[in-house]
Amino acid sequence: MEQDLINYRKSYEKSELLVENVPENPLELFQKWFHEVDTYFSDDETNAMTVSTIGLDGFPKNRVVLLKRFTYEGFIFYTNYNSEKGKAIEQNPNVCLSFFWHGAERQIIIKGTAEKIANNLSDGYFESRPRGSQLGALVSNQSEVLPNRSWLEEKLSKLEKAFEGKEIPRPDYWGGYIVKPVEMEFWQGRPNRLHDRIRYQLQEDYSWLINRLSP
């Protein structure tokens, strides 16, 4: 099978990103872009991001997860700590996050270190989840091989009966990570492939070095 994609082209013309207009802290620019995309480009799932890890087999692996909170400290998402990504983070906490908002012709690439958040924070988020999502965390041995789909559905059915009328506790193998950034790159599409790329790098004094990169 072969398909020629050389004529797949798009001209990016919606906005610009200039060094003289960016804040000193990249988290402020992230917040601005996030809210602009969320407000004006509702077709994008704004909080969907790609998490890249180095797996136990030595290969990088990407997957899309949902960002659930961001602060000046970093970016928080939740997962099964025993999953493939959880095991990869335990071995090597250096990860990369990326957001691609095609409607706004923007992307953000974030290098940082991941660490588990406090148990009480994971408890609070777990309690806020829909009941079906809570049960899903108990049902799934994430990334493990399944015999078939029916096995998963039967396990869910048994747990629904077991927890009928009861609170569902957060399993200790499920919780949040915070990714604390050390580098953030903001990409704004521009005509003729001369895209704007602004990079922030964290310095020893916790200030941010800002540079424009060649497209």
Domain positions in the chain are 19-212
The residue whose two tokens read 């609170």 is 167
Global confidence as pTM = 0.92
Domain 19-212: give its CATH code.
2.30.110.10
Full pLDDT tens readout for the chain, 215 residues: 888 887 877 788 889 999 999 999 999 999 999 999 999 997 879 999 999 999 999 999 999 999 999 999 999 999 999 999 999 999 999 999 999 999 999 999 999 999 999 999 999 999 999 999 999 999 988 878 888 899 889 999 999 999 999 999 999 999 999 999 999 999 999 999 999 999 999 999 999 999 999 99
* From 193, 197, 199, 212, the catalytic residue: 193
The question of whether 193 is a catalytic residue gets the answer: yes
